[in-house]
Amino acid sequence: MSDLQVVAAALRRARHVVVFTGAGVSAESGIPTFRDALSGLWQRFDPGDLATAEAFRRDPALVWGWYEWRRAQVLKARPNPAHQAIAALARQVPKLTLVTQNVDDLHERAGSSEVIHLHGSLHAPRCFACARPFAGLAADPQEPAAGRRLEPPRCPHCGGRVRPGVVWFGEELPAQALQQAFAAAGECDLLLSVGTSGVVYPAARIPQLALESGALLVHVNPQAAAAEGAREYWLGGAAGLVLPQLLA
Ligand code: BV8
Ligand code: ZN
């Protein structure tokens, strides 16, 4: 049997599946990843200038413009066969927990519900000063150029600047989301890790936790993953090609 067949059979037997996704799951929708050698965002931009609270304090318009550029890309994008296969899998297994590091809403638009967003969302900005949610985002942002500054809106309650609703480096992840993800990883029988480089902590602990708790760990990624253990598999290829084959 091929590894694909072994994993497909294990999926059919599984009672609780965790799907853990990263930027690679949205790559085929045209959303750039962070660390890919040619097209990754961190090849062109420095996370220290854009994805920290200090960066926002220093130059709020630079940071806000960059996130509005990314939000405009997501609004134009559509879910791809990988997002759709994950939503379909949830209808086939007794229990599925979907945990994502992505800040887009493509899983939801493919029909997945109760998505656990570990790193927040581009679509849920809040006040940098008082933390109240901000409801006034333009539904149709004119797509600013990648490096264009854009003044963030002001909070209607306190006048503070509105910030993107994502988790920046050095910030704590939403406690409930992280706790739910760890709990699911600790009790699942199979974890599919899709399109993530697995280098950002604490999220990167999730697949390891599943493996340590006795689950099968399956990486879906065109880049080879270190899959050495007897319960660890690597299915090489684009998520939009591999995941539909797992369900067939
Ligand atoms: C915290 C939101 C503490 C914003 C993001 C030194 C050592 C260890 C840890 C640290 C350290 N220094 C600092 C840290 C901690 C730090 C960290 O882990 N840094 C790493 C990078 C060294 N972590 C933090 O700061 C976290 N917070 O620790 O808080 C704390 C405690 C108490 C009180 C206060 C604080 C917060 C981390 C959150 C950062 N936010 N995003 C935004 O989007 O702008 S991170 C960023 O990376 C992304 O958003 C994404 O969510 C995350 C993970 O990346 P991936 O999704 O994996 O994407 P990547 O590009 O890397 O990989 C894509 C993969 O897809 C590749 O493998 C590729 O081959 C594959 N692929 C490509 N195409 C396809 C595909 N796969 C399938 N199909 C395809 N078609
Ligand atoms: Zn406010």
Active site residues: 119
Sign of CA dihedral 45, 100, 247, 78: negative
Residues forming a β-bridge with 220: 194, 235
- Three-state DSSP class for residue 104: coil
CA distance 185 to 16: 9
Domains identified in the chain and CATH numbers: 1-30+79-119+173-248 (3.40.50.1220), 32-76+121-166 (3.30.1600.10)
Mutate to test the pocket of ligand 1, among 34, 84, 179, 241 (most ligand atoms within 8 A of CB): 34
CA distance 185 to 175: 15
pTM over 0.95: yes
Tell me the HSE value of 109 on the side-chain side, using a 13 A CA sphere.
Answer: 13
195 is annotated as contributing to ligand binding: yes
- Three-state DSSP class for residue 94: coil
127 is annotated as contributing to ligand binding: yes
pLDDT, tens digit only, all 248 positions of the chain: 899 999 999 999 999 999 999 999 999 999 999 999 989 999 999 999 999 999 999 999 999 999 999 999 999 999 999 999 999 999 999 999 999 999 999 999 999 999 999 999 999 999 999 999 999 888 877 666 767 899 999 999 999 999 999 999 999 999 999 999 999 999 999 999 999 999 999 999 999 999 999 999 999 999 998 767 889 999 999 999 999 999 98
Predicted-complex ipTM score: 0.95
